[in-house]
Structure 1
Amino acid sequence: MDLLAQPLRTVEFLAVDTETNGLGGDGCEVTEVGAVLVGGGELHDRFASLCAVRAPLSRGVQRLTGITQAMVDEAPEAEIVLADLVAALEGRVLVAHNAAFDRRVLRQACERRGLVWPDPPAICTVALARRFAPLARQRRLVPLAESLGIEVTDRHRALADAETCGRVFCALLPRLAAHAPTVGDALALLKPARAARSRAAATDGGRHGARRRRAGARSELMEEPAGRETALDSLAGARELPDEPGVYIFRNAGGQPLYVGKSIALRTRVRSHFAASSDPSAWTAQAASVDYQQAASELGALVLENRLIKRLAPPGNVRLKHQDRFVYLRCRLDIAFPVLEVAPAPASGHAVSVGPLRGRAVAAELVEQLNSLFGLRHCGRKLPRRQWPSAYGQMGRCLSPCLGDLDPNLYRRRLDEALALFTGQGDGGAALLAHIDAETRAAAGAQRYERAAWLRRRRARLEQLLSRLDGVLGATHARPKLVRAPHPRDEGRGDLFWLVGGRVVDWCPSGPDDLAERTAAALRHWDPRRPTGHLPAGEVDEARIVAGWVATNAPPQLTLDPVPDSGRLAAFAA
Structure 2
Amino acid sequence: MTTTATDDSQLSFDELGTPLRETTFVVVDLETTGGRHGEDAITEIGAVKVRGGEVLGEFGTLVNPGRPIPLEIVRLTGITEAMVYPAPPVAEVLPAFLEFAAGAVLVAHNAGFDTGFLKAACTRHGYAWPKPPVLCTVKLARRVLTRDEAPSCKLSALAAMFSASTTPNHRALDDARATVDVLHALLERLGPLGVHSLEELFDYLPEVTPAQRRKRTLAAGLPSASGVYMFRGPSEEVLYVGTASDLRRRVRQYFTGSESRGRIREMVALATRVDTVVCAHSLEAEVRELRLLAAHRPQYNRRSKNPQAGWWVVLTEEAFPRLSVVRRARDGALGPFRTRGAADSAAAAISDATGLRTCTQRIPAKGARGTPCALAELGRCGAPCAGRQDVASYALGAQVVQDLASGQSTAPFERLAAQLAELAATERFEEAALRRDRLANLVRAVDRGQRMAALAALPEVVAARPDEHGGWEFAVVRHGRLASAGVARRGTPPMPVVAALVAAAETVLPGEGPLRGAPAEETGVVLRWLARQGTRLVHCDQPWSVPVRSAAAWLDWVDRAVAGRGGYQGAN
TM range (shorter): 0.3 to 0.5
TM-score, structure 1 normalization: 0.41
TM-score, structure 2 normalization: 0.41
